[in-house]
Amino acid sequence: MSKKEDRILWTGGGSKVGPKKIRSNLLILFILLMFLFLGGSLFYVWSRIQVIHLGYEISNTLKEERALTEANKKLRVEIATLKSYARIEKFATEELRMAKPKPEQVIVIR
């Protein structure tokens, strides 16, 4: 063997890649990365919009809960008013023309 052949470890013979092939691969890689970036950006914006939308829904639901709680309190007061013995007695005597029972007419059930 000659000295020139000893120095060459690899010549790369037969697998030459031209500059056009490299540019083509780089262009494909760039386009792929741009689509990936665009998809990630769209997903991020969509998720932020969903968070804002859910925040509005939670706010509206809390307002509705407060309104229903207030209505519930009013209805409980109305029930207590309608169940009061003074009101029932007044209604019975005035509207239904009932009289109080005599002590011997009262039967206590236990």
- Residues 15-54 pLDDT 10s: 566 788 888 999 999 999 999 999 999 999 999 999 999 9
Query: Are 71 and 78 contacting, i.e. CB atoms less than 8 angstroms apart?
Result: no
**Per-residue pLDDT, 60:** 98
Q: Of the ranges 1-5, 61-65, 84-88, which is most confident?
A: 61-65
Percentage, residues of the chain above pLDDT 90: 73
Are 87 and 81 in contact by the 8 Å Cβ rule? The answer is yes
Q: Report, as an integer, the average pLDDT of 78-92.
A: 93
What are the structural domain ranges in the chain? 43-99
| d(C-alpha 55, C-alpha 10), whole Å | 64
